[in-house]
Amino acid sequence: MKRIAQCILVCFLVLGACGCVNTRCIRYETSARSPKPSDFSIEILDAANIVKPYKVIGVVEANAGKLHSPTDTINHLKRQARAMGGDALLNLQRGPGAGMVMPVGSTYMYGNLREIWTAKVIVWK
Protein backbone atom coordinates (compact mmCIF):
# COMPACT_ATOMS: atom_id res chain seq x y z
CA MET A 1 0.00 0.00 0.00
CA LYS A 2 2.86 2.36 0.82
CA ARG A 3 4.41 1.68 -2.60
CA ILE A 4 1.15 2.57 -4.37
CA ALA A 5 0.89 5.81 -2.38
CA GLN A 6 4.45 6.72 -3.39
CA CYS A 7 3.70 6.07 -7.06
CA ILE A 8 0.54 8.16 -6.90
CA LEU A 9 2.45 11.00 -5.24
CA VAL A 10 5.15 10.89 -7.94
CA CYS A 11 2.47 10.97 -10.66
CA PHE A 12 0.88 14.06 -9.09
CA LEU A 13 4.28 15.76 -8.85
CA VAL A 14 5.13 14.97 -12.47
CA LEU A 15 1.76 16.12 -13.80
CA GLY A 16 1.85 19.23 -11.64
CA ALA A 17 5.31 20.15 -12.88
CA CYS A 18 4.31 19.59 -16.51
CA GLY A 19 1.21 21.76 -16.55
CA CYS A 20 2.03 25.11 -14.95
CA VAL A 21 3.78 28.26 -16.16
CA ASN A 22 5.88 30.65 -14.07
CA THR A 23 6.86 33.98 -15.61
CA ARG A 24 9.33 36.62 -14.54
CA CYS A 25 10.81 39.77 -15.99
CA ILE A 26 14.14 41.53 -15.81
CA ARG A 27 13.87 45.28 -16.32
CA TYR A 28 16.76 47.17 -17.90
CA GLU A 29 15.42 50.57 -16.83
CA THR A 30 15.37 52.00 -13.32
CA SER A 31 12.08 53.84 -13.77
CA ALA A 32 8.91 51.82 -14.35
CA ARG A 33 6.82 52.45 -17.45
CA SER A 34 3.05 52.54 -17.25
CA PRO A 35 1.51 49.19 -18.21
CA LYS A 36 -0.30 48.76 -21.52
CA PRO A 37 -4.04 47.97 -21.48
CA SER A 38 -5.01 44.28 -21.48
CA ASP A 39 -6.36 44.53 -25.06
CA PHE A 40 -3.09 46.02 -26.40
CA SER A 41 -1.68 43.73 -29.11
CA ILE A 42 1.92 42.66 -28.43
CA GLU A 43 3.73 41.68 -31.62
CA ILE A 44 6.35 38.93 -31.86
CA LEU A 45 9.22 40.08 -34.07
CA ASP A 46 12.59 38.95 -35.36
CA ALA A 47 15.43 41.49 -35.03
CA ALA A 48 16.51 40.90 -38.64
CA ASN A 49 13.17 42.17 -39.96
CA ILE A 50 12.79 45.40 -37.96
CA VAL A 51 13.29 48.71 -39.75
CA LYS A 52 11.82 51.06 -37.09
CA PRO A 53 14.05 52.26 -34.24
CA TYR A 54 13.40 50.56 -30.92
CA LYS A 55 14.76 50.25 -27.41
CA VAL A 56 15.09 47.04 -25.37
CA ILE A 57 13.55 47.65 -21.94
CA GLY A 58 13.97 44.16 -20.50
CA VAL A 59 13.59 40.42 -20.85
CA VAL A 60 10.66 38.15 -20.04
CA GLU A 61 11.01 34.48 -19.22
CA ALA A 62 8.46 31.70 -18.87
CA ASN A 63 9.25 28.39 -17.24
CA ALA A 64 6.57 26.08 -18.62
CA GLY A 65 5.73 22.43 -18.30
CA LYS A 66 6.04 20.39 -21.49
CA LEU A 67 2.33 19.57 -21.33
CA HIS A 68 1.47 23.27 -21.35
CA SER A 69 0.39 24.64 -24.73
CA PRO A 70 2.88 26.91 -26.51
CA THR A 71 0.09 29.39 -27.30
CA ASP A 72 -0.78 29.81 -23.63
CA THR A 73 2.90 30.14 -22.70
CA ILE A 74 3.36 32.90 -25.30
CA ASN A 75 0.24 34.63 -23.94
CA HIS A 76 1.85 34.61 -20.47
CA LEU A 77 4.94 36.29 -21.97
CA LYS A 78 2.78 38.89 -23.73
CA ARG A 79 0.91 39.62 -20.50
CA GLN A 80 4.21 40.19 -18.71
CA ALA A 81 5.45 42.46 -21.54
CA ARG A 82 2.23 44.53 -21.30
CA ALA A 83 2.78 44.89 -17.55
CA MET A 84 6.29 46.22 -18.29
CA GLY A 85 4.89 48.78 -20.77
CA GLY A 86 6.38 47.04 -23.82
CA ASP A 87 5.22 47.25 -27.42
CA ALA A 88 6.56 43.94 -28.77
CA LEU A 89 8.53 40.78 -28.04
CA LEU A 90 11.81 40.36 -29.88
CA ASN A 91 13.65 37.10 -30.68
CA LEU A 92 11.31 34.68 -28.92
CA GLN A 93 13.27 31.55 -28.02
CA ARG A 94 12.20 28.17 -26.69
CA GLY A 95 14.78 26.07 -24.93
CA PRO A 96 15.09 23.08 -22.65
CA GLY A 97 14.52 23.60 -18.97
CA ALA A 98 16.17 22.13 -15.96
CA GLY A 99 15.56 18.51 -15.15
CA MET A 100 14.08 17.22 -11.93
CA VAL A 101 15.24 14.38 -9.72
CA MET A 102 12.44 12.69 -7.81
CA PRO A 103 12.61 9.83 -5.33
CA VAL A 104 10.65 6.74 -6.34
CA GLY A 105 10.77 4.13 -3.60
CA SER A 106 14.41 3.36 -2.92
CA THR A 107 15.59 4.76 -6.30
CA TYR A 108 15.51 8.10 -8.09
CA MET A 109 13.95 9.13 -11.38
CA TYR A 110 15.27 11.97 -13.56
CA GLY A 111 13.16 13.80 -16.09
CA ASN A 112 13.40 16.99 -18.11
CA LEU A 113 9.81 18.17 -17.68
CA ARG A 114 10.15 21.92 -18.23
CA GLU A 115 10.89 24.34 -21.07
CA ILE A 116 12.28 27.86 -20.77
CA TRP A 117 10.88 30.51 -23.12
CA THR A 118 12.59 33.92 -23.33
CA ALA A 119 12.15 37.12 -25.33
CA LYS A 120 13.37 40.70 -25.20
CA VAL A 121 10.73 43.36 -24.53
CA ILE A 122 10.99 46.44 -26.74
CA VAL A 123 9.32 49.82 -27.12
CA TRP A 124 9.24 51.88 -30.30
CA LYS A 125 11.24 55.12 -30.22
pLDDT tens sequence across 8-20: 655 444 444 445 8
Find the helix or strand (DSSP H, E) in which 27 lies: strand 21-27
Q: Do 72 and 21 form a contact (C-beta atoms < 8 A)? A: yes
The whole-angstrom separation of Cα 77 and Cα 84 is 11
What's residue 4's pLDDT? 66
| Mean pLDDT calculated for residue range 78-98 | 91
pLDDT tens digits for range 35-44: 999 999 999 9
Q: Let me know how long the chain is.
A: 125
The domain made up of 20-98+113-124 is a member of CATH 3.30.110: yes
Contacts of 11 by beta carbon, 8 Å cutoff, 6+ apart: none
